[in-house]
Amino acid sequence: MPNTLHFILTHPLGGRRPASALARYVAWQVGSRIKRDHIHPWIEGTRLAVRNGMTGATGNIYCGLHEFTDMAFVIHALRPGDLFLDIGANIGSYTVLASGVCGARSIAFEPDPGTAHNLHRNVTLNDIGRLVTVHETALGATSGQVSFTVGRDTVNRVADPDESETRLVSLSRLDDIPGVLEPTVIKLDVEGYEDQVLAGATRALASKSLLAVETEALDGPIARALENNGLQRRFYDPFARRLLDAAGTHASSNALFVRNEDALARRLADAPRRRIAGIML
């Protein structure tokens, strides 16, 4: 509880309307003990199917955007007709934002069968199947199969060699997936397997359409792979809608790399304003 309350009170949206955020927290704590599954009204008429234990999804309930900076960037950057690649889609929060809120096309990747079921559910719930393609495969540098953890709910990942509680899942190269080679924004959150995904994504990264990549893991090889494709590290201020050279006030869960910065900056500035957790953003 202390960690959750700290998250809410220091969140850029939750902290601006703490009474409302805390009321949503209390309502969720009570309601999730009475009923396992809930349909939560979200942004611009979208909804999320959520159950207790889905940490990221419940953060969206409390504060509107669990990963504030990264999700706000996606909302501001995407337009109808764009292509969003959601790599490590989990239950589909980013996919719902990209396709349900922004009207962009999404290709979502989620190899865990249980989590993929929840992803499909959120696609169906928001009636965005015409815009979303789901691939139940892990992505990496090669194609075949890979060991994947089980029993970790939404944080399952490609297993380490010595792990025993695993299952085999499909493994694909991003560049081999139909329709992925003209992305606008890529979100990459694969619990430490990001370098392998990028190794199989050389053509997608080189695409002239690509404006930005958000990656959870960031080390030397990952940064070099992105920089070698003309992408530069930047930081985003969602309230000012500005790309910054150094970290700003609002922390980010993912590292942002951008290309064609002037064009992207115009997109961010011109995006529609949307009401999120009672605040226009």
- Is residue 152 scored above 80 in pLDDT? no
Alpha helices in 13-128 (DSSP H): 18-34, 55-63, 68-77, 93-95, 113-125
- Is residue 119 scored above 90 in pLDDT? yes
pLDDT given for residue 8 in this prediction: 94
Q: Tell me, what DSSP letter sits at residue 165?
A: S
The topology under which CATH files domain 67-272 is Rossmann fold (3.40.50)
Q: What is the CA radius of gyration of the chain?
A: 18
- Domain positions in the chain are 1-66, 67-272
Mean pLDDT, range 57-64, rounded to an integer: 93
- Is residue 207 scored above 80 in pLDDT? yes
pLDDT in tens, 80-102: 999 999 999 999 999 999 999 99
Rounded to the nearest integer, the mean pLDDT of the chain is: 94
Task: Using alpha carbons, select from 209, 205, 186 the residue that is nearest to residue 263.
Answer: 209
pLDDT band at 251 (very low <50, low <70, confident <90, very high): confident
- Is residue 126 scored above 90 in pLDDT? yes
Contact 215, 205 (CB under 8 A): no
pLDDT in tens, 14-40: 999 999 999 999 999 898 888 888 999
pLDDT given for residue 191 in this prediction: 85
Give the whole-angstrom CA distance, residue 271 versus residue 238: 11
Side-chain-side CA neighbours of residue 196 (13 Å): 16
Q: Please list, residue by residue across 175-189, b when 16 or more beta carbons sit within 10 angstroms of its beta carbon and e when fewer do.
A: eebeebbebbbbbbb
Mean pLDDT, range 105-122, rounded to an integer: 95
pLDDT given for residue 175 in this prediction: 98
Sign of CA dihedral 84, 217, 25, 8: negative
Give the whole-angstrom CA distance, residue 3 versus residue 163: 29
